Structure 1
Amino acid sequence: MLDKLDIAHLLAAIGRGERDAFDHLYHATAPQLLGVALRIVRDRARAEDVLQEAYTRVWLRAQSFDPAAGQAMAWLSAIVRHGAIDFIRRTPSARQVDEQYDGWFENLADPRDEEADMMSAAALRHCLGELDETTRAYVVEAYCAGLSGKELAERYKRPLGTIKGVLRRGLAALKMCLGENA
């Protein structure tokens, strides 16, 4: 573990664009900062997304860290904490998404369709219900409303890479769930 002075020196080096310093800082502080994010968002995948965004901010803002104004680890923790709180604020609630696309879910299976289609639609509804709120919202908006990853990123003010990661994990979870329910 690095001491307070080492972290401050690493931040100064990162402010000068030194990638090795960033790598060293990440490996030394990520476990503790992941814990900060996890306590707020209460989901490991979401906490990892928050941490990814936080380290991007650290890279971009390291030159603004002033050791005279406070401790380096407190500065890093504040970036993660604020990022986690922003994440929660930007995350659509399951109720909002479910209400918005309620008709679509109801129309997944038409009683006039064959029994197999109705079973597939019921399985899809079940598996969508198994996803966490954020993932379900992104998947539904991407595949029901036809929003692109870029449009989702703009709507929720999230990096495109984060949106793509959430969608990828969501689709993998749906695939696994649908395979089990087939």
Structure 2
Amino acid sequence: MPDVDFDYDACLTACARGDQRALRQLYEQDSSRLLGVALRIVRDKSLAEDIVHDAFIKIWRGAGSFDPGRGSARGWVFSVTRHLALNVVRNHYREVPLGDEHESVSTDSFEFGARPGQVHTCLEQLDPARRTCILHAYVDGYSHSEIARKLDTPLGTVKAWIKRSLAALRECMA
């Protein structure tokens, strides 16, 4: 149960001075609620736990930069966690998962050379709008946002099309 009399300002001040007990007290006070915040955003417990860990490191290192004139200490602690979680989500949507088999592929070992028509055959099996998204992303180098504007399609739809199309291409190429 949270201590309603917990002094967040004093705790952050102590953290800024290097008082590890203060960080431990802050952890005991709010780690479970911070985990809940991160979990609601990233929807993965293991990832949320990593975010809370990183948040406490950031809180420890940045405690001296907390400015009580800009808001509450508790709010700052929660915003550090929330921003880290949101950054993870944003960065996840920028990644293009290729799978382990693509990590250190040399040009010689790539199978496109052995079956040059297979890529085209697999692309032809995609819905035309989805095929266009893939080509804009991987041939033209457009970002998801640029594709959404170019096709006058919601960004979430473009992201979903690309994700599903990559999965379909991966399956077709296997």
TM-score, normalised by the number of residues in structure 2: 0.53
C-alpha displacement of 1:2 = 3.2
Q: Which has the larger radius of gyration?
A: 2
1:122-137 superposed matches below 5 A: none
TM-score, normalised by the number of residues in structure 1: 0.51
SS at structure 2 position matched to 1:68: helix
Partner of residue 62, structure 1: 63
C-alpha displacement of 1:100 = 7.4
Partner of residue 14, structure 1: 15
Mind listing any 5+ residue stretches in structure 2 that lack a counterpart?
A: 110-174
Distance (whole Å) between structure 1 residues aligned to residue 65 and residue 52 of structure 2 = 19
Per the alignment, do residues 54 and 18 of structure 1 end up closer, same or farther by CA in structure 2, a change over 3 Å counting?
same
> Is the 1:4–1:73 contact (alpha carbons within 8 Å) kept by the matching residues of 2?
no
C-alpha displacement of 1:96 = 2.7
Amino acid at match of 1:58: I
Distance (whole Å) between structure 1 residues aligned to residue 55 and residue 89 of structure 2 = 14
Count of residues in correspondence between the two structures: 104
Amino acid at match of 2:76: W
Q: Deviations over 1:71-103 (max 9, x none)?
A: 11110111011101111233377863249729x
C-alpha displacement of 1:5 = 6.0
SS at structure 2 position matched to 1:97: coil
Q: Deviations over 1:29-64 (max 9, x none)?
A: 101111110010001000000111111000000011
Distance (whole Å) between structure 1 residues aligned to residue 49 and residue 100 of structure 2 = 28
Q: Deviations over 1:5-26 (max 9, x none)?
A: 6111101110111011110111
Root-mean-square deviation (CA, aligned residues, Å) is 2.7
Partner of residue 27, structure 1: 28
1:30-179 superposed matches below 5 A: 30-91=31-92, 96-98=97-99, 101=102
SS at structure 1 position matched to 2:29: helix
Percent of counterpart pairs with the same letter?
Answer: 35
Per the alignment, do residues 53 and 99 of structure 1 end up closer, same or farther by CA in structure 2, a change over 3 Å counting?
closer
Distance (whole Å) between structure 2 residues aligned to residue 96 and residue 74 of structure 1 = 35
Per the alignment, do residues 96 and 18 of structure 1 end up closer, same or farther by CA in structure 2, a change over 3 Å counting?
same
